[in-house]
């Protein structure tokens, strides 16, 4: 059974503490070909580089998650790309989970199960809702740590150049191209934005975005509407 190289890409703005925490969760795994942290221009690159661990590359890319994800993906030459949000924590068994599912040649990529960090009963309800969405619709988002075969990622045109929903659009393209798997191992993501904005308001905002996309509203228009709201 051949072991495939995995490259981790972590986009960030001005969040050196979160970078350090995220990298700390990856440290015990050790099976990675490379780890790339992508910083937007004008941000605390020096502070982030100082907190980065040995073997971690810190690069700069234009502001925007899609730009940063694509820049990081192009830097690493790994066979499998794993895109991790900076406010997420990888489980100790994450690398083994990727290796397990990618042994099946028909599997082109996947994501992890969602687990919220904190939030009490509200966080548990949110995680349950995500699990049901995964089970019923096989849909995952970026905060679930999406991974994909590098060759296919390039064939699909990488992440689309749009200000919002770049993760969903790539996931849809992956589903059209082959089999994607949501593994049971968790990706634990901070619920800070839910706590700050309120769970009901944030849920309403997310569902509004999905409905607008379903109705054919462009990502650019949705982004402008979200900024106003």
Model pLDDT for residues 74-102, shown as the tens digit of each residue: 999 999 999 999 999 999 999 999 999 99
185, part of any domain = yes
1, part of any domain = no
The CATH number of the domain holding residue 159 is 3.90.550.10
Mean pLDDT, range 212-220, rounded to an integer: 96
10, part of any domain = yes
d(CA 115, CA 196): 18
Cβ atoms of 220 and 163 within 8 Å: the answer is yes
Q: Which two tokens stand for residue 220?
A: 């650019």
Q: CA 84 → CA 26, 69, 138, 176, distances in Å? A: 10, 9, 19, 22
Mean of the per-residue pLDDT values of the chain = 91
Q: Give me Rg for the CA atoms of the chain.
A: 17
95, part of any domain = yes
Range of the domain at 123: 6-195
Instruction: Say how many domains are in the chain.
Output: 1
226, part of any domain = no
On the 0-12 / 13-18 / 19+ scale of CB atoms within 10 A, 228 is exposed
Q: Which pTM does this prediction carry? A: 0.94
Model pLDDT for residues 167-181, shown as the tens digit of each residue: 999 999 999 999 999
């Amino acid at each position: 059974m051949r072991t495939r190289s995995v490259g981790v890409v972590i986009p960030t703005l001005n969040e050196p503490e979160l970078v350090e925490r995220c990298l700390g969760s990856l440290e015990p795994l050790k099976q990675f070909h490379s780890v790339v942290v992508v910083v937007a221009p004008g941000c605390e690159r020096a502070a982030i580089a100082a907190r980065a661990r040995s073997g971690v590359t810190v690069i700069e890319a234009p502001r925007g998650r899609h730009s940063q994800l694509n820049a990081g993906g192009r830097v690493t030459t790994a066979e499998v790309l794993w895109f991790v949000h900076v406010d997420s924590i990888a489980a100790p068994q994450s690398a083994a989970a990727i290796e397990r599912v990618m042994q099946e040649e028909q599997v082109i990529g996947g994501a992890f199960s969602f687990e919220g960090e904190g939030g009490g009963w509200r966080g548990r309800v949110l995680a349950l809702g995500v699990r049901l969405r995964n089970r019923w619709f096989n849909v995952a988002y970026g905060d679930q740590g999406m991974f994909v075969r590098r060759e296919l990622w390039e064939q699909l045109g990488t992440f689309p150049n749009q200000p919002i929903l770049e993760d969903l659009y790539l996931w849809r393209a992956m589903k059209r191209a082959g089999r994607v798997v949501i593994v049971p191992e968790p990706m634990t993501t901070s619920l800070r934005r839910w706590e700050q904005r309120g769970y009901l308001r944030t849920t309403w905002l997310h569902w509004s975005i999905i409905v607008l996309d379903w109705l054919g509203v462009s990502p650019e228009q949705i982004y402008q509407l979200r900024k106003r709201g």
